[in-house]
Amino acid sequence: MKRLTYFDNSATSFPKPPAVAAAISHYLTEIGGSYGRSANTRTFTVARTIEQCRDALAQELGVSQAENIGFTANATQAANTVINGLDLEGGRVLISPMEHNAIARPLEALRLAGKITVEPLPAHPDGTIDCDRIHVPEDTRLVIINHQSNVNGVTQPLETLRKTIHSAPVMIDASQSLGKHNFLAEQWGLDFVVFTGHKGLMGPTGTGGFWAKNPERISPLLLGGTGSNSEHLSMPDSLPDRFEAGTPNIAGLFGLEAALANKPEQAYTQSNLHELLAAIRDIPAFQLYAATNPRQQGSLFSLTHESMDSGELAWKLDSLFGIETRSGLHCAPLAHQHLGTAPSGTCRISLSPYHTADDLGYLLEAFQELA
Amino acid sequence: MARQFLLLENTRAVIQAENHLKELNIPCRVMPVPRAISSECGMCLEITPPVKEPQLEKIKALALPSTIVALD
Q: Give the per-residue pLDDT at A252.
A: 98
* Angstrom distance (rounded) from CA A77 to CA A160: 28
For an interface test with B, give the residue of A41, A46, A228 to mutate (most B CBs within 10 A): A228
- 3-state DSSP assignment of residue A259: helix
Contacts 24+ apart (CB under 8 A), A45-49: A46/A250, A47/B11, A47/B12, A47/B14, A47/B15, A47/B43, A48/B15, A49/A253, A49/A254, A49/A257
Closest C-alpha among A178, A349, A182 to residue A277: A349
What number is the average pLDDT over the span A16-28?
98
- Select the highest-mean-pLDDT range: A225-234, A282-291, B60-69: A282-291
Q: Give the per-residue pLDDT at B43.
A: 87
* Angstrom distance (rounded) from CA B62 to CA A67: 17
Q: How confident is the model over A116-155, as pLDDT tens digits? A: 999 999 999 999 999 999 999 999 999 999 999 999 999 9
Confidence of residue A47 (pLDDT cuts 50, 70, 90): very high
Residue A226 with chain B: CB contacts under 8 Å: 10
Of B12, B31, B44, the CB nearest to A67: B12
Rounded alpha-carbon distances, angstroms, from residue A147 to A110, A150, A172, A175, A246 = 23, 9, 6, 8, 30
Q: How confident is the model over A164-216, as pLDDT tens digits? A: 998 999 999 999 999 999 999 999 999 999 999 999 999 999 999 999 999 99
What number is the average pLDDT over the span A41-47?
92
Q: Which of A173-187, A294-308, A320-334, B30-44 has the weakest average pLDDT? A: B30-44
Residue B29 with chain A: CB contacts under 8 Å: none
Of B15, B31, B43, the CB nearest to A51: B15
Other C-beta atoms within 10 Å of A196: how many?
A: 29
Q: Give the per-residue pLDDT at A1.
A: 66
Q: Kindly give the pairing relationship between strand A69-72 and strand A208-212.
A: antiparallel
Confidence of residue A233 (pLDDT cuts 50, 70, 90): very high
Q: Give the per-residue pLDDT at A87.
A: 97
What number is the average pLDDT over the span A18-41?
93
Q: Which of A85-94, A239-248, B55-64 has the weakest average pLDDT? A: B55-64
What number is the average pLDDT over the span B25-35?
91
Q: Give the per-residue pLDDT at B42.
A: 79
What number is the average pLDDT over the span A84-105?
98
Q: Give the per-residue pLDDT at B41.
A: 66
Q: Give the per-residue pLDDT at A113.
A: 98
Residue A354 has pLDDT above 80, yes or no: yes
Q: Give the per-residue pLDDT at B34.
A: 87
Give percent above pLDDT 90 in chain A: 96
Q: Which of A227-231, A241-245, A294-298 has the weakest average pLDDT? A: A227-231
Higher pLDDT, B40 or A329: A329
Phi, psi of B44 (to 5 degrees): -140, 180
* Angstrom distance (rounded) from CA A147 to CA A135: 19
Q: How far is B52 from chain A, CA to nearest CA, in Å?
A: 25
Q: How confident is the model over A67-83, as pLDDT tens digits? A: 999 999 999 999 999 99
Residue A108 has pLDDT above 80, yes or no: yes
* Angstrom distance (rounded) from CA A66 to CA A55: 5
Q: Are A227 and A250 in contact (CB under 8 A)?
A: no
Q: Are A117 and A111 in contact (CB under 8 A)?
A: yes
Residue A48 with chain B: CB contacts under 8 Å: 15
Chain A residues whose C-beta sits inside 8 Å of any chain B C-beta: 35-39, 43-44, 47-48, 51, 54, 66-67, 226-231, 236, 238-241
Whether the bond into A333 is cis, omega within 30 of 0: no
Other C-beta atoms within 10 Å of A287: how many?
A: 16
What number is the average pLDDT over the span A225-236?
89
Residue B35 has pLDDT above 90, yes or no: no
Phi, psi of A124 (to 5 degrees): -80, 170
CB contact under 8 A, A38 and B15: no
Give percent above pLDDT 70 in chain B: 94
Chain B residues whose C-beta sits inside 8 Å of any chain A C-beta: 9-16, 30-33, 38-44, 65
Model confidence, pTM: 0.95
Confidence of residue A259 (pLDDT cuts 50, 70, 90): very high
Of A66, A230, A239, the CB nearest to B41: A230
What number is the average pLDDT over the span A228-250?
93
- What integer best gives the mean pLDDT of chain A? 97
What number is the average pLDDT over the span B16-29?
94
Confidence of residue B1 (pLDDT cuts 50, 70, 90): low
What number is the average pLDDT over the span A268-297?
98
Higher pLDDT, A41 or A193: A193
